[in-house]
Amino acid sequence: MDDKYTGGCLCGAVRYRAEGEPINERICHCRLCQKAIGAAFNARVLFAVEAVPIDGPAGWAKSSPDLERGFCPGCGTTMFSRRAGAGIIGITTGSLDDPSVFRPQIHIWTASKQPWVVIDDGLPQYQGAPPA
């Protein structure tokens, strides 16, 4: 089994292990992600929901009509963004045991990017949602 995408919260009460290869890896600069993550952007890896078993007492909060964020109720670490209707879940790269495995492919919602964030990695950038 590939343990490339394992992780959990700061206190260790919630753990996850993503199975298989991700659907994509992207950096979101939207205001919802900025608020939910508490940072300038959300670097995340996207998987099918069934590919990410979660162990521990993850809490969930709705941040928009079709998206809920998963976090540890004990320490507050935000680890997930889940669109159950679409069957997908994002894992925050900061919650990975080894964040260096993250290989971003695109930047999305750059219209909301903080002015002091300079993107010079050569990756595609989209002012809003990426093309389907």
Give the pLDDT score at 53: 97
Helix (H, G, I), strand (E, B) or coil at 97: coil
HEC string of 29-86 equals CCHHHHHHHCCCCEEEEEEEHHHCCEECCCEEEEEECCEEEEECCCCCCEEEEEECCC
Res. 104: pLDDT tops 50: yes
Which pTM was predicted?
0.91
Res. 46: pLDDT tops 90: yes
Res. 2: pLDDT tops 80: no
Give the pLDDT score at 1: 45
Domains and CATH numbers, the chain: 6-112 (3.90.1590.10)
**Residues facing 68 on adjacent strands:** 62, 82
Q: How many CB atoms lie within 10 A of CB 63?
A: 14
